[in-house]
Chains A and B, each alone.
Chain A
Amino acid sequence: MEVPGLFNYWMAIVLMMAGLYTVIARGNLVKKLIGLGVFQISVFVLYITMGKIKDGTAPILPASGSAEGVVFSNPLPHVLILTAIVVGIATTALGLALVVRIHEAFGTIEEDDIQAIEESEA
């Protein structure tokens, strides 16, 4: 069974759009952050798909013997995404901390409620 040539990219874009729509259309701040996470992983899928070579294997050289004739997938996207994942958790943690503070200040984490409170105070 063959994967149609661009199938993975299209699925990554579908996931990306699901995340984007969650960020745009949902008012709950935690939900927005999770939507960003969905978006983020879709970008990872896109990059990792680009690094794959058909019949390739993980870019770990054999301990002994030559690697002649072995196809390795491209390690460069792996490095980029590995660091991106860790930065992703750092930003998510910071975002969640901000959400907690917003909840303490306003008593709600719904976007439109916060806006209503701000307008009534202004």
Chain B
Amino acid sequence: MKEKPILRVGTKFLIPFILMFALYVQFHGDFGPGGGFQAGVIFASAFVLYAIVFGIANARRALPAGIRRLLLSLGVLIYAGTGVLALVEGGRFLDYSALAAQPVLGQHLGIFLVEFGVGMTVFAAMTTIFFVFASRDPSAREQD
């Protein structure tokens, strides 16, 4: 892709804004539309764009498989862990009110953690799925 400077510069210009917007959607989800699901997908779309413009090999170097797998499982772990934490603190499973002295503060903390876990898993899942599709070898397509 060395011969397409506008595409490359444009992409490099866009990616920080996409990531920033994803973080805004993640942390502003309590107040407006948004949340972990949407933020994860938007965050992943930045890497999809990078992979399309700069090639899948570079994208794999930017986001190695180990990190993706770690984030994939860590997200679910954070979610379930928040539930277990509430259990340990004397509430019921996923009853965030037990997480802090005041129930509403606990709810706020719980929702923050849970949405963070969701965003992490969705981001890792979407990038993994796209990278796996994109790196599949199409060479044997015309074998018949």
Contacts and interface: CB of A to CB of B under 8 A. Distances in A.
B144 A107 contact: yes
B120 to A, nearest CB: 14
A63 interface: yes
Interface string A61-79: 0010000000000000000
Contacts of B132: 97
B93 interface: no
Contact of B136 (A58, A63, A100): A100
Contact of A86 (B31, B122, B136, B141): B122
A6 interface: no
B96 to A, nearest CB: 17
Interface residues of A, number: 17
A83 B17 CA distance: 26
Interface in A78-107: 82-83, 85-86, 89-90, 93, 96-97, 100, 103-104, 107
B102 interface: no
B143 A107 contact: yes
Prevailing SS type, chain B contact patch: helix
Contact of A60 (B33, B126, B140, B141): B33
B90 to A, nearest CB: 27
Interface string B1-43: 0000000000000000000000000000001110001000000
Contacts of A93: 129
A90 B129 CA distance: 9
A103 B37 CA distance: 31
Interface in B112-144: 122, 125-126, 129, 132-133, 136, 140-141, 143-144
Contacts of B37: 82-83, 85-86
A78 B67 CA distance: 32
B29 to A, nearest CB: 11
Interface of A: 58, 60, 63, 82-83, 85-86, 89-90, 93, 96-97, 100, 103-104, 107-108
5 contacts: A58-B33, A89-B126, A100-B136, A103-B141, A108-B144
Given A60-B33, A107-B144, 8 more contacts: A58-B33, A63-B31, A83-B37, A86-B122, A89-B126, A96-B133, A100-B133, A108-B144
Going nearest first, the 4 A-B pairs with the smallest beta carbon separation are A107-B144, A93-B129, A86-B37, A107-B143
